[in-house]
Amino acid sequence: MFHLKEHNTNVKTEFMAGLTTFLTMMYIVPVNGFILADAGLPMGAVVTATALITILATLFSGLWGNTPIAMSVGMGLNAYFAYGLVLGMKIPWQTALGIVFISGIIFVVLSFTKFRVWIMTSIPMDLRRSISAGIGAFIAFIGLKEMHIIVADKATFVTLGHFSDPHVLLGAFGIILALTLYAYKIRGAFILSVLISSIIGWSLLPDLKFPEHIFSMPASISPIFLHLDIMSALTLSLAPVIVTFLITDMFDTLGTLTAVGARANLFQEGTKEDKALEKTLEADAAATVAGSLLGVSTTTSFIESASGVEAGGRTGLTALFTALFFVGTLFLLPLFKAIPEPAILPILVAVGVLMFMELGRMNFKDMDIATAAAAFFSILLMPLTFSITNGLAAAFVTYTAIKLAKGEFKDLNLGVIVISIISLIVFIVHA
């Protein structure tokens, strides 16, 4: 079924690869629970829903596409969902789930067309990479803010927090620990960082308590299951947000598949005949729709799948084993709920740093002013305006405006123009 011999692999190798992928991305279950709980969703229900969509999406990805790609709730868009839409724009979380559903349906439809190739060839690579870096800066800023390492200030808007607070110190320690473990390429670096920081917090800070229980039956998802409000999301003012979710999910997915595929010798054709890429994109899109029904934000392919590929994973059997390992997370709710915020929030910062590293792949030497300005505003405005939509829109409007002013019409294809017009609507709606 998985054509193991054709891919020069075996069951043992695929098992170890699946375990490796699981350890590197297990953090998403408690982290997503904390993030969406801030938006008003019950944490227990979110933890269960996150584990379920990870299991189902990864299983479907492995069986449908026969690739070692694991899927779960995407970092970045979950933060935008909670802090940008629900808390920032005061959109009810039910409506925000409706936005996720609509963007997922559009992605499903487009996955069966040539649109993915069109997007890949329309938008300059450096601009795509700057958007990834901007999202990284955005989620890192959220993590620093929630840990009170960065706090509000009347004179300067933001400033450093009070490092005399042991909770702030624990958060700062967690950031360094997570990045150090990752630098040493330790399997499960992020979840290990959460565990070590939690033990330190439970041991030294009197207001943080050890969990009374480790295991329990999964919490019910009934408070969030099928609670999305699609009709309220179908408004002109929210159209740019839907486009943002759609484009960001596509960028995230295509970027992940490109990076992982290069190591596993997958998705190298880049053409309509690349069935593995097509099926993985279809699985990714379907997972977003299913996730919104379960009650979580956008589901996407995880870059942590690369760790499984490095361990030898080459087929969907790797994804199958990863999905099976995630079944265990359904029963760890008491442990997840007891994790201190200063232990879990550093992972937001660490993931932000890794996404920001995309800047290193940009061609700064030959970059023109239009691309440089678009990248600058993308990276700057996402965290400063607390909105991926604003950063994305500013990038495309700036890029197109400068190209038009310089008469460099050959650099403006239909894809860029369409996205720029939609981006312009963002600022018109704000006005």
pLDDT digits (tens, 9 = 90+) for 75-96: 888 998 999 899 998 999 999 9
Quick check: is 45 in a domain? yes
In whole angstroms, give the CA distance from residue 38 to residue 61: 30
Distances from the Cα of 339 to the Cαs of 131, 186, 218, 236, 380, in angstroms? 31, 21, 17, 40, 32
**Residue 182 identity (one-letter amino acid):** Y
Residues written for the chain: 431
Tokens linked to 100: 């996720």
**410 within a domain of the structure (yes/no):** no
Q: How many domains does the chain have?
A: 1
In a domain, 332, yes or no: yes
pTM: 0.83
| 27, part of any domain | yes
Residue 95 lies in a domain: yes
CA R_g for the chain: 21
Asked, for residue 216, whether it belongs to a domain, the answer is yes
Position 272 scores a pLDDT of: 46
Taking 90 as the threshold, does the pLDDT of residue 248 lie above it? no
Identify the domain containing residue 209 by its residue range.
11-357
Q: Are 187 and 307 in contact (CB under 8 A)?
A: yes
Nearest to 372 by CA among 384, 360, 362: 362
Report yes or no on 428 lying in a domain. Answer: no
94-113 pLDDT tens trace: 999 999 999 999 988 887 77
Q: Given this model, what pLDDT does residue 393 score? A: 87
Q: How many helices (H) and strands (E) does the chain have?
A: 20, 4
- Which range, of 84-88, 133-137, 262-266, averages the lowest pLDDT? 262-266
In three-state secondary structure terms, 330 is helix
Q: Which residue has the tokens 């199958």?
A: 320
pLDDT in tens, 40-50: 999 999 999 99
In a domain, 5, yes or no: no
